[in-house]
Structure 1
Amino acid sequence: MARTNIVLVLTILFFVLMPEWEIFGGPQFMVEAGHINCGARCGYRCSKSSRHKMCIRACNTCCQRCHCVPPGTSGNYEKCPCYWHMKTRGGRRKCP
């Protein structure tokens, strides 16, 4: 019975984590030991930005404060509400 429960939990975790794995291209983007790899996630998030350096700087700041970065190269802010709600002094969205 205990073995069945373990297998069930592992199966559920697999299906929960698999979409994130596919979106970000592998394990380097996964959260390890409670820490997120901001450099890798922001590198991917800003990969199509026309202002790459500024995007990376803003994204890294947001990632360090929120401990998350939305998947993909744009949008998907609902996955990381803190990232979405962070504003600049001028009232504009800070995070790319």
Structure 2
Amino acid sequence: RRIDSLGRYGGEEFLVVLPDCPSDQALRILDEIRQRFAELHFIANGQQFSVTLSAGIASTEDAPASADDLLDKADRALYAAKHNGRNQVR
């Protein structure tokens, strides 16, 4: 969607903003990105490798929230994904 935004947010973290996107749709979008990303193969120093992606989602769907609250909620969901095996969207 043209209204969506993606950018680096910290060292290895990225922030995706999906305006007017229900959380179930955001989950589907991020999960598809996660799956496609895992299929990519990279080469460095003559070695081929692939990587996985973990993501956390926050939404204003249930209640209004400030940007800081959304970032905190998404960050907690991201770390839950990492602590529960990685390569997943929470």
Using structure 1 for the length normalisation, give the TM-score. 0.29
Bigger-Rg structure (1/2): 1
Instruction: Name whichever structure is richer in helix by fraction.
Output: 1
Q: Which has the higher contact order (CA 8 A, sep 6+)?
A: 2
Using structure 2 for the length normalisation, give the TM-score. 0.30
Instruction: Name whichever structure is richer in strand by fraction.
Output: 2
